[in-house]
């Protein structure tokens, strides 16, 4: 496997880290723009935390797939990384929140960096694998399309479930949305 793919992975995950961290800062300046809601959190709920990480991930990885091409290893690495990063992000935030009982921006950035590093590790392992069958590409594309569908639906059609409720305010909307 070419070292160029490893370099691309490191660059993309660095960009994901920067974009997701900046996304938390932009949270304070959000508007009621429906398109921006696809990328910017509206509260501190579990879903909105994941959205900060995953929106940056989707944008950067789409650019990577366009620039690198439809390589089976890159597609499968993207699919597996998105799953691993989501799980690690939820676990890391839950542990930190249970220990500190506080919700601060630095905790959100630390959980994002932790999950991004785990995604990078998994991605490097998968990119380095030899002879992945082409069926893996189809499975990865199908899985990523399902993920994108869920992402859009969960962003625009939220319910009163616990994953959409802000743990601090116990609401799923901001005051300016009311």
End-to-end CA distance of the chain: 53
Predicted confidence band at 173 (pLDDT cuts at 50, 70, 90)?
A: low
pLDDT of residue 176 exceeding 50, the answer is no
On whether the CB atoms of residues 85 and 115 are closer than 8 A, the answer is yes
The mean pLDDT of the chain is 79
Instruction: Quickly tell me which residue has 């501190």 as its tokens.
Output: 44
Q: Are the C-beta atoms of 123 and 77 separated by less than 8 Å?
A: yes
pLDDT value of residue 111: 83
pLDDT at 131 over 70: yes
Average pLDDT over residues 62-71: 78
- Domain residue limits, the chain: 3-160
Q: What is the mean pLDDT of residues 74-98?
A: 87
pLDDT in tens, 133-168: 888 888 988 999 999 898 888 888 877 777 777 766
3-36 residue pLDDT tens: 777 888 888 888 888 888 787 776 655 556 666 6
What is the CB-side half-sphere exposure of residue 18 using CA atoms within 13 A?
7
Nearest-5° angle of CA 89, CA 130, CA 87?
10
Question: ∠ CA(16), CA(22), CA(27), 5° rounding?
Answer: 125
Q: What is the share, in percent, of the chain residues with pLDDT greater than 70?
A: 82
Q: What is the pLDDT of residues 20-29, one digit of tens each?
A: 878 777 665 5
* pLDDT tier for residue 49 given thresholds of 50, 70 and 90: confident
Residue 6: half-sphere exposure toward Cβ, Cα within 13 Å: 8
70 phi, psi to nearest 5 deg: -85, 75
DSSP character string of the chain: --HHHHHHHHHHHHHHHHHHHHHHHHGGG--S-TTGGGTS-SSSSHHHHHHHHHHHHHHHHHHHHHHH---HHHHHHHHHHHHHHHHHHHHHHHHHHHHH----HHHHHHHHHHHHHHHHHHHHHHHT-S---THHHHHHHHHHHHHHHHHHHHHHS--SSGGGS-TTTS-SS-GGG-
Tell me what pLDDT residue 1 has: 52
């Amino acid at each position: 496997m070419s070292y160029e793919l490893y370099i691309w992975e490191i660059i993309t995950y660095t960009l994901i880290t920067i974009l997701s961290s900046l996304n938390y800062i932009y949270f304070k300046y959000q508007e009621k723009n429906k398109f921006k809601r696809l990328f910017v959190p509206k509260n501190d709920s579990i879903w909105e935390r994941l959205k900060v990480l995953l929106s940056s991930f989707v944008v950067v990885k789409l650019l990577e797939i366009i620039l690198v091409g439809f390589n089976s290893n890159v597609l499968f690495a993207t699919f597996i990384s998105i799953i691993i990063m989501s799980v690690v992000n939820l676990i890391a935030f839950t542990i930190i929140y249970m220990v500190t009982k506080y919700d601060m921006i630095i905790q959100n950035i630390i959980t994002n960096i932790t999950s991004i590093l785990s995604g990078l590790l998994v991605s490097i392992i998968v990119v380095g694998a030899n002879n992945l069958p082409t069926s893996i590409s189809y499975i990865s594309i199908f899985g990523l399309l399902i993920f994108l569908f869920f992402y859009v639906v969960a962003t625009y059609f939220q319910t009163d479930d616990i994953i959409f409720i802000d743990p601090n305010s116990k609401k799923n909307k901001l005051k300016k949305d009311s």
